[in-house]
Amino acid sequence: MAYHNIRIKILIALLLLFIPLTSAGIERNHERNRITVVFRYDDYSSLSPTNIELKLIETFKKYDIPCTFGVIPCVCVRDFQDVRPQNIAPLTPTKINILKDAIKAGVLEVALHGFSHQTIHEKRYGYTEFSGLDYNSQVTKITKGKNYLEKMLNVPITTFIPPWNSYDPNTIRVLEKLGFKTISADKRGAVKKFSPLEFRPERCGPNKLRDKIKSARCTWGTHPVIIVLFHAFEFLEVDKKRGNITYQDFDKLLSWIASQKDIRVQTIGQLTNTR
């Protein structure tokens, strides 16, 4: 009986030693398989739906999750896809203050999302604000947009999101000249061979994020990055025809993301500065 009791005590002692080692191993595995998620919201402008953007910012605050907003400094007033001359609308004081407050709260990075977001080509040639535009014209547009946002918000703008994710080598040359660190778009052609810019392409929309994370968890030790691109029109409350997610489901998605120990959420700028 005494021998049996001694064996039990030894087993208990070993279990007590094993539990913290197992916990530490789990934590190391979380770190080894850490997934970085970046939320990128495009087309913030003087004409974008303020009500949904305020709700988004409040939800990001609630879950302590940051987001990158692609901001159009002086949006064209009629139609992104119309090549005819249009007036432009600079950010209103209200829209500027929303950004300032969110930046101050630590939940927002502002990226330059073109200048007016108006295409220079018709659909059959591919929508773009910059690809095919001469170097000097691109310098002028991107400089004006960057300077405007930096003056209005008093923060450095180092991330560029080209409208329709479309750009050319001249765009890259301009971004390098103006001190940008990151372009959120795919690498294309010879660009990736010579540019020091970080390239951060989008990977999915919010409704596909769980599947992307599931796949990423099967890739051992690679620290995958998932950039989630979304727009106001993707919310069913904003556009019933083009929408694919409700605001309530988006809130649940952020709640779930915040609860996952192997996921960290960063802005595009934070990702560039920490890798």
> Which one, of 200, 95, 94, 100, lies nearest residue 155 by Cα?
100
29 confidence band (pLDDT: 50, 70, 90) = very low
Amino acid at the residue 273:
N
Comparing 24 with 34, which gets the higher pLDDT? 34
Tell me which H or E stretch contains 43. strand 35-44
pLDDT cut 90: percent of the chain above it: 79
pLDDT at residue 9 tops 60: no
Q: For the segment 132-168, what is each residue's pLDDT rounded down to a tens digit?
A: 999 999 999 999 999 999 999 999 999 999 999 999 9
49 confidence band (pLDDT: 50, 70, 90) = very high
pLDDT cut 70: percent of the chain above it: 85
Could you please report the per-residue DSSP string of 257-272?
HHH-TTEEE--HHHHH
Q: What pLDDT does 195 receive?
A: 84
Q: Which of 30-39, 144-153, 199-208 has the highest mean pLDDT?
A: 144-153
Q: For the segment 206-259, what is each residue's pLDDT rounded down to a tens digit?
A: 999 999 999 999 876 678 999 999 999 999 999 999 999 999 999 999 999 999
* Burial status of residue 134 (CB atoms within 10 A of its CB: 0-12, 13-18, 19 or more): exposed
Q: What pLDDT does 60 receive?
A: 98
pLDDT at residue 30 tops 50: no
Rounded-to-integer distance, Cα 212 and Cα 149, Å: 33
Average pLDDT over residues 93-101: 98
Token pair recorded at residue 86: 């249009």
Instruction: Report in angstroms the alpha-carbon separations of 140 from 3, 52, 112, 144.
Output: 86, 32, 14, 6
Rounded-to-integer distance, Cα 32 and Cα 221, Å: 5
Instruction: Report in angstroms the alpha-carbon separations of 246 from 27, 42, 61, 81, 108.
Output: 34, 17, 19, 26, 22
Token pair recorded at residue 155: 């923060």
Rounded-to-integer distance, Cα 53 and Cα 60, Å: 11
Tell me which H or E stretch contains 98. helix 93-104
Work out the angle at residue 196's Cα, subtended by the Cα atoms of residues 192 and 197, and round it to the nearest 5 degrees.
Answer: 80
Rounded-to-integer distance, Cα 144 and Cα 140, Å: 6
Task: Check if the beta carbon of residue 229 is closer than 8 Å to that of residue 40.
Answer: yes
Tell me whether strands 88-90 and 74-76 are parallel, antiparallel or unpaired: antiparallel
pLDDT at residue 99 tops 60: yes
pLDDT at residue 270 tops 50: yes
User: Which residues partner with 229 through β-bridges?
Assistant: 40
pLDDT at residue 16 tops 80: no
Residue given tokens 């960057």 in the structure block: 146
Q: What pLDDT does 22 receive?
A: 42
Classify each residue of 158-168 as buried b or exposed e, where b means 16 or more C-beta atoms within 10 Å of its C-beta.
bbbbbbbbbbb
Rounded-to-integer distance, Cα 237 and Cα 243, Å: 8
